[in-house]
Amino acid sequence: MRIINSISSIYESELKNAENKRPTLVYDEDFGTNTDYFNSFELSLYLLEIMDNTHNLNLFLEGLGMPKVNADIFYTLLRYIIENKEITEEHKQTYFNTTKELYRISNVFWYVSQTVSFVPDWDIDCFIFDVRNDLNDDYPDIYERAMKGDITYDEFLDEIKTLNNRVFEKLNQDTA
């Protein structure tokens, strides 16, 4: 319920800031199939789960007197997925940095309570970073190194491109 109220308040503030534009969400029969590989409705649910986990972590941090993690990118991504908009490079980098911060902070609290831990979602990452999610066992290792700070964002993207190329080569070999 807290997440829905948060989404509502953000949506209302965007409405107020819009210059006489009234955003509309029109039901479409193909909602849930905005790309070849991903289901919008399912991704929206995964994002809501991440938002809820982040909210719980932020409440915990607030109780400790620590600064909260800015999770606005998740609201933006949710809106973009629902409205079937293109995710920009800036969104990708903000998502990467936010998840990296959440990962770093929540690892400390993992043994305290799993309700205040952040676990990245494989499907959302695949969607945002254009990772083929089939035949892809190396992505978790790449992601882990990125979250620990062993590789930069650009190195992360380069490794994903290399990984995707290997996956496509394997698929082409299998179909040949």
Tokens 């700070």 identify what position? 149
For the chain, the structural domain boundaries read 2-128
SS (H, E, C) the chain: CHHHHHHHHHHHHHHHHCCCCCCCCCCCCCCCCCCCCCCHHHHHHHHHHHHHHHHHHHHHHHHCCCCCCCCHHHHHHHHHHHCCCCCCHHHHHHHHHHHHHHHHHHHHHCCCCHHHCCCCCHHHHHHHCCCCCCCCCCHHHHHHHHHCCCCCHHHHHHHHHHHHHHHHHHHHHHHC
Please compute the mean of the pLDDT values over residues 98-111 and round it to a whole number: 82
Res. 69: pLDDT tops 60: yes
Q: Is 66 exposed, middle or buried (CB count within 10 Å of its CB: 0-12, 13-18, 19+)?
A: exposed
Q: What is the pLDDT of residue 28?
A: 46
pLDDT digits (tens, 9 = 90+) for 16-66: 554 444 334 444 445 444 444 457 788 888 899 889 888 888 888 888 898
